[in-house]
Structure 1
Amino acid sequence: MDDLTETPPQPRRTASDTPFAHVPIEIIVSVGRARPTVAELLRLDRDAVLTLDRRVEDPVDLYVGDRLIARGELMEMDGENAGQLAVRLTELVDLSGGL
C-alpha cells in the first residue's frame, strides 16, 4: 500500500504579489478621433479647430498599447490638483484573457 500525502491547496496569487505588480505602464485615454484628408491637415494652422467624432459628455476609452481596458468619464480634479484632468472609470473590460 502506497503512502500518499495530500498536498495542501496553494493560496491563489493576487495581482499585487506578482513580480510585475510594480512595473509602470502607460495608459492612453482616447477622447475621440478626427479623420481629415491630407489636404485639410496641411491647411491646419495655429488656433485651427479639429472636430472630433465624440461629444464632451461621451465616455472616453482607456488603452494599454492597442488593447481597450476600460471606459470612463473625464473630470476635473479639485483641491491641490485643481484644473488637472482625470478619468472616473465607468466600465472595465474583461481581461481574463490577459493583456
Structure 2
Amino acid sequence: MSQEDQDKLAAEWEAELAKESDAAGDSGGTAEAAAPSATPPAGDDAQRQADEALAAQWAASMAQEEESPAHQSFGGAGAGMGGHASEAHFKDMTEMARQPADNKLKRELDFILDIPLDVSAELGRTRLLINELLQLGQGSVVELNKLAGEPLEVYVNGKLVARGEAVVINEKFGVRLTDIISPIERVKQLG
C-alpha cells in the first residue's frame, strides 16, 4: 500500500471517528444506544468503543482492498516491491496415470520376477552327538522332533513362509500349502 493510500485511509478514519464522536454527543452514540447500561460509559469504555469501531473499519477496508481488481491481478501491494507474479498452470496428469506402464517398467519388473530363490520343505529337526552321527549306517533311523501328521514347514531362502502337508505327484514328493505365514510374522523372523 503506497503512502498516499495510507494517508487517504487515515483521513477517512479520522473523519469517521469525528462523526461517531459527534453522533455520540448528540444522540447518546450508537454504541451507547446499543449498550444496555443506564449510565454513560466511562472514559476508558468510550476509548475502547472507539478502538473497536476503528478496528471494524480497518477490517472493512482490508476486505475491500482484497476484492479490488488491482489486488487480484497481483499488481496491488506487491507491485511496489518490484515482484512479478503470474498464475500457476499445472499439466493435467490424470490421462498419463490412466495409461498402462511403458515397456521399460514392465521389463524391470520382469527382471525382478526372474530372480531364483531356494525353496525347501522340512519334516522336522533333531540334534545328534558326533558319536551318534558316526554310528549312523544304512537302515539307521533318525528320530525327528515332529509328530507324524504334523505339517511340513516351507522355507524360502532360509525364511519360513508357509506350512503344508506332504503329497506325491508323479512319483515325486510335493507340499500342499495349508497355511501361509502372515507378513507381520515374516518381518519378526528377520529381526
Q: Secondary structure in 2 aligned to 1:33?
A: coil
5 Å-filtered alignment, 1:12-91, equals: 17-77=109-169, 81=170, 83-91=171-179
User: Corresponding residue for 2:69?
Assistant: none
| Root-mean-square deviation over aligned CA pairs | 2.8
Q: Distance in 2 between matches of 1:39 and 1:6?
A: 75
User: Corresponding residue for 2:93?
Assistant: 7
Q: Distance in 2 between matches of 1:30 and 1:95?
A: 20
Q: Distance in 1 between matches of 2:89 and 2:136?
A: 79
User: Corresponding residue for 2:50?
Assistant: none
Instruction: Give the TM-score taking structure 2 as reference length.
Output: 0.42
Q: Distance in 2 between matches of 1:92 and 1:6?
A: 42
Look at both structures and tell me which one has the larger radius of gyration over its CA atoms.
2
Runs of 5+ in structure 1 lacking a partner?
A: none
Deviation at 1:43, TM superposition (A): 1.3
Instruction: Give the TM-score taking structure 1 as reference length.
Output: 0.75
Q: Secondary structure in 2 aligned to 1:20?
A: helix
Q: Secondary structure in 2 aligned to 1:40?
A: helix
Q: Percent identity, aligned pairs only?
A: 27
Q: Is the 8 A contact 2:162 2:177 kept in 1?
A: yes
**Greater share of helix:** 2
Q: Distance in 1 between matches of 2:143 and 2:131?
A: 16
Letter in 1 for 2:135: R
